Structure 1
Amino acid sequence: MPFQLRDKHGATRAVAYLMLAGAPYNVITGVLMQLGAPPAELVALVVTSVSLFVIGVVCWRRPDALPEQFWLVVPLLAIAVVTGLNFATQDATTAAQLFYLWPLLYAATFLSRTMGYLTAASISAGHAAVVFNYAPMSQAPTDWIAMTVAMAMTAWVVINLNERNDRLRAVLEVQASSDSLTGAANRRAFDEALQHAVHQAVDDGDPAALVLIDVDHFKAINDTWGHATGDLALRAVADALRAAGKDTQHLVARLGGDEFAVLLRCGPEQAFAYAESARARLGATGGLPGGPPALSIGIGVAPHHAHAAEELQRVADAALYQAKENGRGRTSVVSSAS
């Protein structure tokens, strides 16, 4: 998105550091070292320094007090401040223009590619306004072109490095939360999702169903046809569980071995219909020696049967045990609140 803020905590700290460092620097270099300057110029520099300090304190202590739009436009505000100070001091030197680096790096690091390039273009315009007014005309065009190219290249490098890091982080997050064999979520991701789903179900009354699945006689599949066939069977189970939930909000997880779990945002009847649909889809799977495996399934629903994640796991596991006791290859739903 063109105006999205990434890492708000880092962005607020970056702004706070700049403001708190810029305020005393501005006082020392713009006021104390320029006491012979016109009073209006000194007053403007003092007001700017105080404003920077106040904003820095707010960014550090109360960042939520500032509107979200502030963090998106802050690089453009910083460019306006740097340009204004350079105008006030009539400073067109390269050292003064290097202060433009902060808004550029902020935008390229915390904002989108669009905002990064917009910031680079604004810096070019601000620098042109100063350099063409106060630098020798024989030098101004060269300085402006050099600064514009340097800022544009810096923006391009930082933006692309950040996007590459984002892609790598996304891959690592997927690897950390998924089962490599089936592509289903792993135990860690499932536990987090279960806690959230049950908490939400208890709070707002929108039910969350936990469907626990065991592959019947999975050891016999491995012993008879080999582990490669067992892996194919597990993938087929995961595919069937995903396909059965394509029309509803769901999460398929492999808890380990031949154990799977599915989280659904629905009540007991819909969860039972989902389980039977998954069983039918798995039954239609071809290419497995000996045919597709059968499933034993237990279902518990919050808040109908439980009000905590651990309790829901317990009652769903009891339903699964009942399905196995009744002959396997069937679905059992918790009949009453525990």
Structure 2
Amino acid sequence: MRLRIRDPHGAARAVAYLMLVAAVYLLVTGVLLKLGDPVVELAALGVVSVAFLLVGLICLRTPEKLPRLFWLSVPFVSAGVVTGLNLATRDTSTGAQLFYLWPLLYAASFLSRVMISATVAAISAGHALLAFSFMDGLHAFNDWSALTVAMSMVAFVVAALVERNDRLRDVLEVQATQDALTGAANRRAFDDRLAGTADEAAHGGRPLALVMIDVDHFKSINDTWGHATGDRALRTVAEALRDSASGNDHLVARLGGDEFAVLLRAGPYEAIRYAEQARTLVEAARDLPCGPPRLSIGVAVVPDHATGAEDLQRVADAALYRAKAGGRGRSVLAGDAVALN
């Protein structure tokens, strides 16, 4: 997205620290060290210092109170302030130009490529105004072009590093929440989703179904046909569980070994239909040397059978136990006396 803000928390901290440091710097160098200058100038700098301090505190403590446009405008306002101060002091030195690095690094770290390019353009335009106002033509052109090229290179390198870091973080997040063998979510991702959705369903939200699945006699598959065939069987089950759900509002997880769980936004009978569809898809598999594995399934729903995450797991596990005790290869809905097989 062209106007997205990457890492809003980090952006808020960056602006807060800049404003707080700038407030102190301006108060010391612009007011305290220049006592005796015209009172109007000292008062103006004092007011600006206080304004910087207040903005910094807001960004640090309650950044959510500031509109989205504020965070997008930060690099342009900062570049404008730097340009204005350099013009006011007629300072064309390299040290003065280095202050442009802050809005550039902010944009490269937290904003999109379009906003980064716009920031570089704003910095280039601001320095052009300064350079061509106080330098001779050739010197001004050389100084302006050198700064523009340098800022562009810095922006490109920083943006590339930030994007690479984002990609690596995304990979790590997937690895931390996904089962490597089946591509299903792992226990950690399942627990996180269950905790939030079960509480929502218990307090008037859409019903949440928990479908607990065991692959029947999985140990004998591994012992007889080898672990490679067992792995293929698990992948077949995970694929069937994903394909049986309509839409994207579900989570298929492998909890460990041959145990799977599925979270569905569904009522009791929709959930049991899902379970039967999954069993049918697995039974239709014809590419496994061991033949299609059979599934024992227990189903429970919040709020119909449980009032929270822990209660839902307990009731679904009890339904799964009944499916196993009743001969395996069947689905049991919590509270029902009849199992589907």
Q: TM bucket by the smaller chain? A: over 0.9
Q: What's the TM-score once normalised by structure 1's chain length? A: 0.95
Counterpart for residue 8 of structure 2: 8
Letter in 1 for 2:328: R
Q: Would you say the 8 A contact 1:207–1:267 is kept in 2?
A: yes
Asked whether 1:152 is paired with 2:152, we answer: yes
Letter in 2 for 1:244: S
CA distance in 2, matches of 1:219, 1:92: 77
Letter in 2 for 1:103: P
CA distance in 2, matches of 1:80, 1:46: 19
Asked whether 1:296 is paired with 2:296, we answer: yes
Deviation of 1:33 after TM superposition, in Å, equals 4.6
For the residue of structure 1 that corresponds to 2:148, the secondary structure is: helix
Q: Would you say the 8 A contact 1:41–1:88 is kept in 2?
A: no
**Cα distance change on mapping 1:97 and 1:36 into 2, 3 Å:** farther
Letter in 2 for 1:150: A
Q: Would you say the 8 A contact 2:215–2:294 is kept in 1?
A: yes
Q: Would you say the 8 A contact 1:12–1:60 is kept in 2?
A: yes
Counterpart for residue 270 of structure 1: 270
For the residue of structure 2 that corresponds to 1:297, the secondary structure is: strand
Deviation of 1:79 after TM superposition, in Å, equals 1.1
Q: Would you say the 8 A contact 1:297–1:332 is kept in 2?
A: yes
For the residue of structure 2 that corresponds to 1:291, the secondary structure is: coil
Deviation of 1:42 after TM superposition, in Å, equals 4.5
Deviation of 1:132 after TM superposition, in Å, equals 1.0
For the residue of structure 2 that corresponds to 1:212, the secondary structure is: strand
Letter in 2 for 1:153: M
CA distance in 1, matches of 2:176, 2:62: 34
Deviation of 1:36 after TM superposition, in Å, equals 7.0
For the residue of structure 2 that corresponds to 1:151, the secondary structure is: helix
Q: What's the TM-score once normalised by structure 2's chain length? A: 0.94
Deviation of 1:203 after TM superposition, in Å, equals 2.2
Asked whether 1:313 is paired with 2:308, we answer: no
Q: Would you say the 8 A contact 1:248–1:264 is kept in 2?
A: no
Q: Where does 1:1-338 land on structure 2 (aligned, <5 Å)?
A: 1-34=1-34, 41-247=41-247, 249-335=249-335
Deviation of 1:39 after TM superposition, in Å, equals 5.9
Cα deviations by residue, 1:118-146 (Å, 9 ceiling, x for unpaired): 11111111111111112333311111001
Q: Percent identity?
A: 61
Q: Would you say the 8 A contact 2:296–2:323 is kept in 1?
A: yes
CA distance in 2, matches of 1:202, 1:270: 18
For the residue of structure 2 that corresponds to 1:240, the secondary structure is: helix
How many residue pairs match? The answer is 336
Q: Would you say the 8 A contact 2:31–2:45 is kept in 1?
A: yes
CA distance in 2, matches of 1:90, 1:27: 20
For the residue of structure 1 that corresponds to 2:298, the secondary structure is: strand
- 5+ residue gaps, structure 2, are 337-341
Q: Would you say the 8 A contact 1:213–1:259 is kept in 2?
A: yes
CA distance in 1, matches of 2:169, 2:286: 37
- 5+ residue gaps, structure 1, are none
Across the aligned residues of Structure 1 and Structure 2, the Cα RMSD in angstroms comes to 1.7
